[in-house]
Amino acid sequence: MRETVKLVAAVVTGSVLTAGILTVPQLATDRSPQERGPRSAPVVPVTPDVPDLASELDGNTRRFEVTAREFTQQLATFPYQTAQVWGYDDDLSEAGPSTPGPTAIVYEGEQVEFTVNNDLAEPTTVHFHGLHAPNDADGVAGISQPEPIQPGESYTYRFTPGHTGNFAYHSHTSDAVQELKGLDGSFQVLPRQVRGKERVDQDFVFTLQSWSLQGEGQPVEPFPEDAGDFNFQTINGKTLDAASELPVRVGDKIRARVYNASQQVHAMHLHGVDMTIVSKNGHPQPAQTVTTFNISPGDFVEVEFSFDKPGKWIFHCHFPHHTSNAMQDGPNGSPVGMGRVFVAS
């Protein structure tokens, strides 16, 4: 039996919430007594300041198409604003290119066809990080994919994700250069239905990235000068001063899906309330209450929390250098860099 359910998904555009419709295929299945009970479609996660990747659903196959290319993107408001980066362009919409790339969203059991067009001046591939793709879709240049995608050429990866969770897609060619220039994107695999206790009111996707930028509009450098710090730290391709604020309601249950696409460890801290770690790398974890959690390069962590009082509450990396832009503070000494502000009311 097959039926289709439409969900309203809130998408952050600047500081305004707009509504979009995502079609969710549902499959009727027999469940054990332990699994029975009230169930509903999950809340669709949103990626602030990053579009969702458009898809075409044909039966049980969801198709995506992206182009890897170089472009200019605003990362911050000071001391530099824009940089030449690499990222992914959604070929099925007019959203334009971004780093991190548009967020791919699929549902458990769906087959995926993911076509990559290469508009770069060098070969590339795409690896589906944590998704348990078969070897011929693993996307490692010279190993599982002996011939990477040449400039001007295309390649289609086909696989069925291994399980639900918070994952990513990224280049696996010249990793030390291409990933650190921006070839990363989020890949979310959602359950078709969730029990009431698993349901959240708002669900956010955050990708952490680090950049070396030495001048306005210059290309980002994958190797910082004199082996120094990456001088710009972003969530979803924006420093805090350039990012959208996130409106939430006091008492709402909020999930944050965090992926570390940088090559540095980050210590993520939330003001106002504790967080509960509920999943790592797509696998449920025994509930652990924390004020700060470390996330290593390539790791995925999901946390949940609820604000119990109104106000502006910052979520940020607790490494002091990571709350600056090129070692400069924001107005009146405010933190910038790797942070986001939740506005609870």
With CA atoms as reference, report the closest residue to 68 among 171, 195, 214. 171
Closest CA to 99 of 219, 216, 4, 230: 219
Residues 260 and 189 in one domain: no
Confirm if 75 and 81 have CB atoms less than 8 A apart: yes
- On whether both 68 and 169 belong to a single domain, the answer is yes
Residue 27 lies in a domain: no
Helices and strands, number each (H, E), in the chain:
1, 24
Both 327 and 304 in one domain: the answer is yes
Q: State the pLDDT at residue 21.
A: 40
User: Is 29 contained in some domain?
Assistant: no
| Local structure of 136: helix, strand or coil | helix
- Looking at the fold, whether 105 and 229 belong to one and the same domain comes out as no
Please compute, for residue 291, the number of CA atoms within 13 A of its CA located in the half-sphere on the CB side.
Answer: 3
| Residue 30 within a domain | no
Q: Are 150 and 214 part of one and the same domain?
A: no
User: Is there a domain that residue 57 lies in?
Assistant: yes
Instruction: Look at residue 331 and tell me if it is in a domain.
Output: yes
Do 194 and 55 share a structural domain?
A: yes
Q: Taking the chain (345 residues) in consecutive chunks of 10 residues, what is each chunk's mean pLDDT?
A: 37 38 46 58 96 96 98 98 98 94 97 98 97 94 96 98 95 96 97 90 98 95 79 97 98 98 96 97 93 97 98 97 95 97 98
CATH of the domain at 297: 2.60.40.420
Are residues 55 and 189 located together in one domain of the fold?
Answer: yes
Total tally of structural domains belonging to the chain:
2
By the 8 A CB rule, do 83 and 92 touch? no
Q: Has residue 103 been placed in a domain?
A: yes
Last residue of a domain, one of 166, 198, 230: 198
- 54 and 190 together in one domain: yes
**Of 198, 230, 245, the domain-final residue:** 198
Residues 216 and 181 occupy one common structural domain: no
Q: Does residue 11 lie within any of the structural domains? A: no
Confidence (pLDDT) at 34: 44
pTM above threshold 0.85: yes
C-beta of residue 77 within 8 angstroms of C-beta of residue 160: no
Q: What angle do CA 113, 117, 123 make, to 5 degrees?
A: 115
Specify whether the CB–CB gap between 137 and 149 falls below 8 A.
Answer: no
pLDDT at site 226: 63
Of 198, 224, 257, the one marking the end of a domain is 198
Could you tell me the residue range of the domain that residue 111 belongs to? 50-198
Domain match, 117 and 102 both: yes
Q: Looking at the structure, tell me whether residues 263 and 244 fall in a common domain.
A: yes
Are residue 241 and residue 193 in the same domain, yes or no? no
β-strand partners of 315: 270, 340
What local confidence, expressed as pLDDT, does residue 227 receive? 53
Does residue 259 sit within a domain?
Answer: yes
Closest to 127 measured CA to CA, from 287, 271, 310, 298: 298
